[in-house]
């Protein structure tokens, strides 16, 4: 079974600084997708960024970028120039193209606090 | 475009009561999903519907039933609520179930079973 581990339950960052959230996963698949979702206090789940496992280039979306290390099964999220609106719970998630449930498998989340 | 909507936003039930959580999407998506989120955990899939007329079990289906009423609507029913079903429930939809397709989430329903 696939598992996703986020070892940092809480992180904090000063406004305008950079923070990196860690995620590791366990899989025997070679083809899969990885995602970072943001959940603000409104509880809405918002997709931040995604990475296809077959792509060596790390995905980037404005201030958000990932460091994808396939051999190490590591998928960290870097937030640059942190803003107060970035404060939220961040979930790493994994998905394979097949399987009985076709589900997203989520980590337990990292609560990010942005300090003014 | 409202996206994915869920009703109600909050609900308190007594053990043994039944209720139905409603979900609707206006994005013409084929696939819909129900997840639950427990404290300190990520979301876990309860049931999904790959297309209108089909439903399949996810990771934690026990104690739940679903109905894909039409392409827009996907409901989740608790026949006899138990305290272990206290959770936040999220509905999501995607164009298809393929793994590259983004899932769009509703705002969630916070359910407490006493």
Distance CA B32, CA B75 (A): 10
Burial status of residue A104 (CB atoms within 10 A of its CB: 0-12, 13-18, 19 or more): buried
Q: Which residues, 6 or more positions from A98, have their beta carbon under 8 angstroms from its beta carbon? A: none
pLDDT of residue A82: 98
pLDDT of residue A27: 86
pLDDT of residue B12: 97
> Taking CB atoms and an 8 Å limit, are A33 and B102 in contact across chains?
no
Distance CA B34, CA B45 (A): 6
Min CA distance, A100 vs chain B (Å)?
A: 8
Please state whether beta strands A110-115 and A10-14 pair in parallel, antiparallel, or not at all (unpaired): parallel
Q: How far is CA B86 from CA A2, A105, B33, B90, B99, in A?
A: 25, 20, 18, 13, 29
Distance CA B42, CA B22 (A): 21
For residue B99, pLDDT beyond 70: no
Q: What percent of chain B shows pLDDT beyond 90?
A: 77
CA-wise closest residue to B25 among B13, B33, B17: B33
Q: H or E element: which one contains B56?
A: strand B56-57
Which residue in chain A is spatially nearest to B98 when comparing CA positions?
A97
pLDDT of residue A101: 47
In the DSSP assignment, the letter for residue A59 is P
SS3 of chain A: helix, strand, coil, percent, to 5: 5, 50, 45
pLDDT of residue A30: 83
- Which of A103, A109, A110 is the best residue to mutate to test the B interface, defined by the most B CB atoms within 10 Å of its own CB? A103
- Picking from A30-34, A101-105, B30-34, which range would have the lowest pLDDT averaged per residue? A101-105
pLDDT digit string, tens, across residues B16-73: 999 999 999 999 999 999 999 998 788 999 999 988 889 999 889 999 999 998 999 9
Q: Which residues, 6 or more positions from A62, have their beta carbon under 8 angstroms from its beta carbon? A: none
For residue A9, pLDDT beyond 90: yes
pLDDT digit string, tens, across residues A43-101: 888 999 999 888 889 999 999 999 999 999 999 999 999 999 999 999 999 887 665 44
Those residues of chain A whose CB sits closer than 8 Å to some CB in chain B are: 4, 9, 32-33, 42-47, 50, 52, 91, 93, 95-97, 100-109
């Amino acid at each position: 079974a696939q598992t996703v581990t986020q070892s940092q339950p809480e992180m904090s960052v000063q406004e305008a600084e950079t923070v990196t959230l860690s995620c590791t996963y366990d899989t025997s698949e070679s083809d899969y997708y990885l995602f970072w979702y943001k959940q603000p206090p409104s509880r809405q789940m918002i997709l931040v960024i995604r990475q296809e496992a077959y792509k060596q280039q790390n995905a980037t979306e404005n201030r958000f970028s990932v460091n994808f290390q396939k051999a190490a099964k590591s998928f960290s999220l870097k937030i640059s120039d942190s803003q107060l609106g970035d404060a939220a719970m961040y979930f790493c998630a994994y998905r394979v193209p097949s399987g009985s449930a076709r589900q997203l498998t989520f980590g337990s989340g990292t609560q990010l606090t942005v300090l003014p | 475009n409202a996206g994915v909507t869920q009703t109600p936003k909050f609900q308190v039930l007594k053990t043994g009561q039944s209720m139905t959580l409603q979900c609707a999407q206006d994005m013409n998506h084929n696939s819909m999903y129900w997840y639950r989120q427990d404290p300190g955990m990520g979301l876990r899939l309860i049931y999904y519907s790959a297309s209108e007329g089909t439903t399949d079990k996810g990771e934690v289906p026990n104690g739940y039933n679903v109905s894909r009423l039409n392409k827009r609507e996907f409901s989740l029913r608790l026949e006899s609520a138990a305290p272990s079903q206290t959770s936040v429930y999220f509905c999501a939809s995607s164009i298809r179930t393929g793994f590259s397709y983004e899932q769009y989430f509703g705002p969630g329903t916070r359910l407490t079973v006493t």
